[in-house]
Structure 1
Amino acid sequence: MSEAAAVRRTRPLFALRPLFALRPLFALRLALREMRGGLKGFYIFLACIALGTAAIAGVNSLSQSISETIASRGQELLAGDIRFELNNRVATADERAFLQGLGDVSVSAGLRSMARLPDGSNQALVELKAVDGAYPLYGKLESDPAKPVPELLAKEGEIFGAIAAPLLLERLGVTPGAEIFIGNARVRISASLVSEPDALSDGFGFAPRLMISSEALVASGLVQTGSLVEHTYKIRLPDPADVPVIRAQAETRFPSAGWSIRTSGNAAPSLNANITRFSQFLTLVGLTALIVGGVGVANAVRSYLDGKRSVIATFKCLGAPASLVAMIYLSQILMIALVGIGIGIAIGAFIPFVAAQFLAGVLPVSTAFELYPSALGLAALFGLLTALTFAILPLGRARRVPATALFRQQGFEPTGFPPLAYLTGAFICLAALAGLAVWTAYDQYISLVFLGAIAFAFIVLRGVSLLISWLARRSPRVHSPALRLAIGNIHRPGALTPSVVLSLGLGLALLVTLALIDGNLRRELTGDMAERAPNFFFVDIQSSEIEGFRSLLAGAMPEGKIIEVPMLRGRIVALNGEDVNSRNVPPGGQWVLRGDRGITYARNRPENSKLTEGSWWPEDYGGEPLVSFSAEEARELGLKLGDTVTVNVLGRNITARISNFREVEWESLSINFVMVFSPNTFAGAPHAWLATIIDPDASAQEEAAVLKTVTNTYPTITSVRVKDALDIVNTLLGQLATAVRAAAAVALVASILVLAGALAAGNRARIHDAVVLKTLGATRATLIRAFSYEYIILGLATAVFALFAGGVSAWFVVSRIMTLPSSFLPDVAIATIILALVVTVGIGLAGTWRVLGQKAAPVLREL
């Protein structure tokens, strides 16, 4: 509908003053009539809201999909209704009788070991799992060829059956039917493993799976005193609803058992926690995209209302109060926002279905299309609050357009702050948006820091734009007319400088931050850390073997430095006498209490750590048990000197008092422990040894020779080549980085949309400037050069800010949170500058090309 038609249709209505009593309904009618002309001017608004809403809806829907699938398939993922896990010991007769009285029991054992070819020519680290004939109680193990598990693991003569993961076959260079050695047992690979029902509940493994029978594990000789082996008892109950009662009975009857109890309702807690953390991170990135898009919303609303100046002036000429005008356009903004939110929710609803096609073989996700109303509703609320937060202020300025603007469009530009009511409304919406982000966060502290960083970034970006304008205003006069015009455009009233800097600043800064974190981690894993790390870890060295092993290793790698320490496994069960399950522990310290920890004892302080508080015990100390605790983890757990820590080791609860705190260099990958006890704590306790060897100059051939020698001589000792483990971590890091980059790309796309919106919002002023300059003799080529110079200057300034802000953020994350060395990467800087220039100049010229073709007469008539 034309503006004249809108005026004719509304004139009789304004004459009826009583209708103002029904102002909201009246405003809605006028808003609907005016929107008959289409959504021109609101496309960027729609894109910004839809993009951010889709990101939040998709991430939370996918997270909820995985969590619900884990909950619904809990029995299968756990391979039982309830699971009891003991480390380094089997259940006692009383414990076993209790477990067998609950229902059907399946017993398994898990440990790391070495698989080797009969001729000793090749070997590989494996995650060994020994199961009995009842496995699995729930779910189905799939293999190729498909046969019952007992048949595949059956013993033929002196050879046991085994099921191997395809990766193990590849590493050993064998096929099903081949024979290998596990410890002292000879096994034949009867099938390749396709899927294992309880793999996720068993946790992440650094090596491929090899499954054997419990009988084969006994024959291997791998389970000895102090061996790091997990014994698991999975039970199928007559009534799964009895799980809470049984768990309480087990804890009451056997308070010192030290077993870890897990139920089918919490089959994979670590996976759940990691997915929740990662989805929170991606949600915050999506919220960044939404907030950046909010700037685009403000620009789009300002641009749209700027084009409606004559309509607003007409309304006021006909007697409409400013509040009615604001209500009309608020109704339009809300309707358009709902359309954008609807588009975003529709896209977000499909993201789990699409992602499931790629994740089905890795994570427990449903491949059926399902809706997750809570996740979609949360995204809709974020989108609505963002739209209102950033649309209210431009709306408040638009209501001040006077009736005289109908006759002279270039004669009035709204300045100053909007009315107090609009400022208050925007503040309330902003507070609600921040409160929602904190309330729904897994780690509220991280969410608060994130929101504070965003707020600080907005302030700094505003300061950067003011600094650029100030420098442009005070720059020396240049001879080039195009460059002089570009510099003038940067600091003149109504310049695009604040919008461009804010538009690209956040997106580029986020991109630089993530790129630097990723680059530093990769460099550390493949470079510095790999060079500082030991060549090998050797696990499960028996006391009877330690002397011979030391001599063998010294001969195999003469230049290597050998370090060996006694090692046990223990679970922290109480802090200061309080059960750890009843404590509210921050996420950063939960890993210490989750599962068993490696522990050791020592007379002297470990050489790779330093005391931060307290003192070390004397070499001949014989008093109450003492413990040295890692300082960082102690802070997370709220511990102080003199506090007590109770650990369960081999079925016994041992309480020790904290004597000192140590700063541990975890990134060195050398032998480190959260807890180091005084030697008298475990006097006489059976244990194995852990050893490392360090030789930075050793070649791959020398390392292969060491691995072969140790494995063939001591088949029960597990050898872990650190570089192989780092390669696995690097691969996982690459997979996570892909998701992070995709999320960062969403924020960058939002920034580009905002930049396009900023240019659209300034089109009227650009048209005016271009027409006046062309009338005064400027050519189109001169104007193009001027605009190009302007966008290049702004792009370079924004890139400099992004490099600084991203560099500081990445340094803080890598250096302070990950405690790794951090450095600035020049290739990231160059890529950022190029990207900033391409985006600003490309979009800027695309947006101004139409401006240069405007006819002069229509514009000059309005001056």
Structure 2
Amino acid sequence: MHGTLPAPPQRQPKPTPVLPLVLRLALRELRGGLKGFAIFLACIALGVAAIAGVSSLSRSLTDGISREGRRILGGDMAFSLLQREANEAERAFLSAKGQVSAIASLRAMAVAGEKGSALVELKAVDGAYPAVGQLETDPQLAPADLMAQRNGAFGAAVDPALLARLDLKVGDRVTIGAANVELRASLVSEPDKIASGIGFGPRLIMSQEALRATGLIQPGSLVRWTYRLTLPPALSTDEALDQIEAEANRVLPEAGWNIRTRVNADARFARNIERFTQFLTLVGLTALLVGGVGVANAVRGYVDRKRASIATLKSLGAPGGQVVRLYLTQVMLIAAIGVGIGLVVGGAVPFIVTGLFGHLLPIPIHPTLAWGELGIAALYGFLTALVFALGPLGRAHDVPVSGLFRDQIDPERRWPRRRYVTGLVLSVAALVFLAVFAAYDRKIALMFVAAAAVSFALLRLVASGIMTLARRLPRPRRTAPRLALSNIHRPGALTPSLVLSLGLGITLLVTLALIDGNLTRELQQTLPKSAPSFFFLDIPNAQADGFEGFLKNQAGTAQIERVPMMRGRLVTLRGLPVSQIKANEDVSWVLEGDRGITYAKTAPEGSRLTAGNWWAEDYKGKPLVSFDDKIAQGLGLKLGDEVTVNVLGRNITATIANLRQVEWRSLGINFVMVFSPNTFAGAPHTHLATVTFPNGSDAAVDARILRSAALAYPMVTSVRVKDALDAVNDVVSQLITAIRGASSIALVASLLVLAGALAAGHRARLYDAVVLKTLGATRARLLSAYALEYGLLGLATALFGLLAGTLAAYLIITRVMNLSFALDLSGALTASALAVLVTVGLGLMGTWRILSQKPALYLRNL
């Protein structure tokens, strides 16, 4: 039969793999789990979570301030004037734009009869308050009922702190100036609290009728009038706000008011958030960099465990570049898991804070997923993993198959190929660029980068020095010391990784301990012996001589100093508006808001001329001004330059006649600007006085003077210096607590890295232990040798950490914080000793597990 044979079946072509070969192999190897990468994951996740959490919380706070700008400000715009109310033209201008409400704020004394007196932050409101938001009191009363005049007294809401301080209760009465005030409710919440700033006394809210009845409003009184403007909804756009602000400055150029809008309801507070965020971000980056050492240790240990796989791949023809790409892909995939964990934790921080503490926070917070900040945190994590993984992986490219096995006991010293070095340099440059680019203050970021680079370089030199010294020392006769000394410098020693991880941790511990100690000392122990005990503000010009006589009678031999005082706001410098002045960050505060100013015939005590000459006592020429030299330098001012200050609604231009160095820490009376006496001839003003006891005063004397002054001169505001410092101390203590909490993240990372460094040497230690036990070494002898090794490394590294941490703390205290530095190593020595003990303890824990292994199983594989 003739027929056709069936055609053979066509071979189907193999489908083209979707994933590249390197990625497929990497995913296949990862099926075995993430053994050995726990510390790797923890280090990456911890650092990323710190950066993501801090930046996300900061964004939530700034978004909350932006979204709640109208409530914080009390309207769409706020126009502030100092020492005077708006005149008819200014009120007419504001009224033509929208609804206007006025608030007056000042410090005053609340007198509670025999129970004493206390400083209060007084806020006097009109009938439109609050234009935005709600005033919450206990009991809850309508503002009209709360502040109405009944039975010979005006009503008020008061901070519970005043009730506790003077042993009062709701319904009791106090005297403020010449008015009787009934405390009808305790203050729970005021919608515009942030805009009022931080005060030195409890808040008391009353009506403006009550304020006028007190008699506290005198010519020159330090009262701030703020006019809140609420625009019609159709005109309440950001463009309209800018137009009104520009028109106000054009139509009323000498008003001298400070204008804020809901867009920048509290610009200084937002900047402080950004500054503090940068600090905490740098702490998080420190944790990430410290964790990077853990990444390097983990990758080195991973390569060590994969020697057989690498040898097999290379023997089958895999080029070295492909091997490096394979394991770099695995490392970055694992890093992605750590980054993901960190992003989830960091992104949840604003929501957790809001859920747990949102009702307690005095500032609005709008929890949100800040994708930009989370992206930057993820980039930090990936770059850190890449930087610290390229070195250990790059070495495996050129090692031959036989060398891979020999390398575990005799590692070759070589640099990776140029491509890996180039990749490492580019990765480091990208990490540095990101750290600087994303920073609020790039100068501080550059200082941080330089400090990190120097720390890594120095620690590497310290490790090399320790190994060289151990190699050259005479061999001890006893076995344990000889073995410990050999372990320090032998091939594959743990010295470099231990010194790096432990050194970073101890340096950070010492730095934080010294900064903490110096800040505490600055706030509590460095008050000069000659510092005043009291400041007395708002002394009426007509009563100044009488009040000074009263103080001499009350304070006996105490030194009394009195100077005239006004408030003014810088308008122009060298003819340029202050908005166009690019001032140094540390002096820019002088251009924000108003400053205390005075005039004097002679140079104030506590200052020294550094340039120019003081004017004659009978000087009658054009206005002159003396400037603080450091602030003048920061503002770019020099002798002969002109500055314009707005005082009481008038622009006054003066020429800088001299510069002087001011000793601000004496807490005596001094000012950034001191004018020649003829500048303010006839201008209404008050006086400022201080009382300084030669040998200090006690609480009883202070209480007597405060009470007598409040009764005899109710218009005068008394500020006890110790109380003011305590208020500042409370704020700074809260910041220190936050810094300690954030810095603990870096310390945890350091501890993880230390454990990882010890774990990375597990294979080499296991090999040593097996051989030595076979040769007859006892467990006790090996433990003593390892304890001595870890102890010597810990002590040497602790010495470096003490020196480096002290230097870092000195630079931060003196250059960044501009404070004096005192060396107190008690806390630093304790921290260093604990770090050494932890090192020895962790090392012996890992060694005990190694020594418990049976030699036979491992001898067969050697």
Same fold (TM > 0.5) = yes
C-alpha contact 2:624 2:655 (8 A) present in aligned 1: yes
Shifted more, 32-41 versus 759-768: the winner is 759-768
State how far apart, in whole Å, the 2-side matches of 1:569 and 1:814 are: 31
Amino acid at match of 1:594: E
Question: Is the contact made by 2:304 and 2:408 (CA closer than 8 Å) also made in structure 1?
Answer: no
Q: Which residue of structure 1 aligns with residue 94 of structure 2?
A: 99
Q: CA deviation at 1:667?
A: 2.1
Deviation, structure 1 residue 24: 7.9
1:831-850 Cα distance to aligned partner (Å, 9 max, x none): 21222123211221222222
Candidates 255, 258, 270, aligned match of 2:256 = 258
For residue 525 of structure 2, give the secondary structure of its aligned residue in structure 1.
helix
Match of 1:167 in 2: 161
**Alpha-carbon separation, structure 1, partners of 2:830 and 2:615:** 54
1:10 maps to: none
Measure how far apart 1:358 and its partner are: 2.6
Q: Does 1:64 align with 2:47?
A: no
Alignment of 1:182-193 (within 5 A): 182-193=176-187
Aligned to 1:430: 428
Q: Which amino acid aligns with 2:718?
A: S
**1:768 paired residue number:** 767
Deviation of residue 506 (structure 1)?
2.0
Asked if the contact 1:121/1:708 (under 8 Å) is kept, the reply is no
Q: Residue 756 of structure 1: SS of its match in structure 2?
A: helix
The 5 Å alignment of 1:684-763 reads: 684-695=682-693, 696-763=695-762
Match of 1:198 among 181, 189, 192: 192
Partner of residue 855, structure 1? 854
Partner Cα separation in structure 1 for residue 746 and residue 409 of structure 2: 37
CA contact (8 A) 2:410 2:491 kept: no
The aligned counterpart of 2:7 is none
Would the aligned equivalents of 2:535 and 2:719 in 1 still touch at CA under 8 Å? Answer: yes
Specify the alignment match of 2:8 in structure 1: none
Query: CA separation of 1:104/1:402 partners in 2, compared to 1, >3 Å: closer, same or farther?
Result: same
Residue 784 (1) aligns with residue 783 (2): yes
Q: Could you tell me which amino acid in structure 2 is paired with residue 107 of structure 1? A: A
For the Cα contact (< 8 Å) 2:63–2:365, is it kept in 1? no
- Contact 2:155-2:182 within 8 A present in 1 as well: yes
Following superposition, the deviation at residue 680 of structure 1 comes to: 1.9
Residues 103-144 of structure 1 deviation map (CA, whole Å, 9 limit, x = unaligned):
111111000111011x24410000000000100110001000
CA contact under 8 A between 2:533 and 2:696: conserved in structure 1? no
CA distance in 1, matches of 2:768, 2:88: 91
Aligned counterparts of 2:75 and 2:127: Cα–Cα separation in 1: 14
- Select 1:50's aligned residue among 45, 51, 57: 45
Q: 82, 89, 105: which is aligned to 2:84?
A: 89
Aligned counterpart, 1:499: 497
The alpha-carbon deviation at position 316 of structure 1 amounts to 0.5
Tell me the residue number matched to 1:579. Answer: 577
User: Does the 8 Å contact 1:814/1:820 carry over to 2?
Assistant: yes
Query: Which deviates more from structure 2 when the two are superposed, residues 383-392 or residues 838-847?
Result: 838-847
Question: 1:537–1:692: 8 Å Cα contact kept in structure 2?
Answer: yes
2:761 is aligned with what amino acid?
G
Of residues 643, 652, 666, the one that matches 1:668 is 666
SS of 2:321's partner is helix
| CA 31–698 in structure 1, closer or farther in 2 if over 3 Å, else same | same
> Counterpart of 1:595?
593
For the residues of structure 1 that align with 2:761 and 2:322, how far apart are their CA atoms? 26
Q: 1:152 to 1:378 in 2, by over 3 A?
A: same
2:270 to 272, 290, 296: 272
Q: 1:125 aligns with which of 119, 127, 149?
A: 119
Whether 1:180 aligns to 2:179 is: no
Uncovered stretches (5+) of structure 1, i.e. residues with no partner? 1-17
Partner of 1:76: 71
Q: 1:31 aligns with which of 19, 26, 33?
A: 26
CA contact (8 A) 1:667 1:819 kept: no
Partner-residue secondary structure (3-state), 1:691: strand
Aligned mates of 2:477, 2:84 — CA distance in 1? 85
In the alignment, which residue of structure 1 is the partner of 2:3? none
2:231 aligns with one of 227, 230, 237: 237
Instruction: Mark the runs of 5 or more structure 2 residues left unpaired by the alignment.
Output: 1-12
Name the structure 1 match of 2:386.
388
The offset of 1:370, in angstroms, is 3.1
CA contact (8 A) 2:512 2:809 kept: yes
User: What residue in structure 2 maps to residue 5 of structure 1?
Assistant: none
Deviation at 1:673, TM superposition (A): 1.2
Q: Structure 1: how far apart are the matches of 2:801 and 2:593?
A: 42
More divergent stretch after superposition (329-338 vs 849-858)? 849-858
| Larger mean Cα displacement after TM superposition, 622-631 or 357-366 | 357-366
The DSSP-based 3-state class of the residue aligned with 1:528 is: coil
1:633 is displaced (CA, Å) by 1.8
Residues of 1 paired with 2:395 and 2:533: CA distance? 67
In 2, are the aligned partners of 1:392 and 1:426 still within 8 Å (CA)?
Answer: yes
- Residue 231 of structure 1 aligns to a residue whose secondary structure is strand
Q: Judge conservation of contact 1:803–1:832 (CA < 8 Å) in 2.
A: no
* 8 Å contact from structure 2 (residues 514, 828) kept in 1: no
Q: CA deviation at 1:860?
A: 3.6
Cα deviation code 1:181-228 (max 9, x no counterpart): 111110000100000100101111111100110000001011111111
Q: Aligned equivalents of 1:521 and 1:855: distance in 2? A: 55
Q: Check whether the contact 2:529–2:696 (CA below 8 A) recurs between aligned residues.
A: no
Name the SS of the counterpart of 1:136 in structure 2: coil
Residues 397, 414 of structure 1: 8 Å contact kept: no
Question: Is the 8 Å Cα contact of residues 400 and 414 (structure 1) preserved in structure 2?
Answer: no
Cα contact 1:667–1:820 (8 A) shared by 2: no
Cα deviation code 1:382-414 (max 9, x no counterpart): 111111111111110122332225765746524
Distance apart, 1:648 and its partner CA: 0.6
* Counterpart-to-counterpart distance in 2, 1:354 and 1:838: 36
**Quick one: structure 1 residues 406 and 273, their matched pair in 2 at CA, closer, same or farther if it must change by over 3 Å?**
closer
TM-score (ref. length: structure 2): 0.95
Percentage identity across paired residues of the two chains: 55
Which stretch has the larger CA shift, 175-184 or 632-641? 632-641
TM-score normalized by the length of structure 1: 0.95
Any residues of structure 2 matched to 1:338-487 within 5 Å, and which?
Answer: 338-356=336-354, 357-358=356-357, 360-366=359-365, 370-405=368-403, 410=408, 413-487=411-485
Distance change >3 Å, CA 582–CA 798, structure 1 → 2? same
Which secondary structure does the structure 2 equivalent of 1:175 belong to? coil
Residue of structure 1 in register with 2:10 after alignment: none
Q: In the aligned structure 2, how far is the partner of 1:446 from the partner of 1:408?
A: 46
Tell me, what secondary structure is at the counterpart of 1:628? strand
Distance in 1, Cα, partners of 2:295 & 2:612: 56
Q: 1 CA distance for matches of 2:663 and 2:792?
A: 44
Name the CA distance, whole Å, in 1 between partners of 2:516 and 2:353: 23
Change (3 A) 1:786 1:749: same
Q: CA deviation at 1:626?
A: 1.8
- Which whole-Å CA distance do the structure 2 matches of 1:801 and 1:360 have between them? 46
Range that drifts further, 481-490 or 723-732: 481-490
CA-CA distance at 1:614 after TM superposition: 2.7
Q: Alpha-carbon deviation of 1:22?
A: 9.1
Return 853-862 or 542-551, whichever deviates more.
853-862
> CA separation in 2, counterparts of 1:310 and 1:816?
53
2:286 equivalent to 1:291: no
What secondary structure, in the 3-state scheme, does the structure 2 residue paired with 1:394 have? helix
Alpha-carbon distance between aligned partners in 2 of 1:313 and 1:487, rounded to the nearest angstrom: 33
Distance in 2, matches of 1:173 and 1:138, equals: 33
CA contact (8 A) 1:603 1:619 kept: yes
User: Which one of 535, 548, 551 corresponds to residue 550 of structure 1?
Assistant: 548
How far is 1:664 from its partner? Answer: 1.8
Question: C-alpha displacement at 1:527, in angstroms?
Answer: 1.7
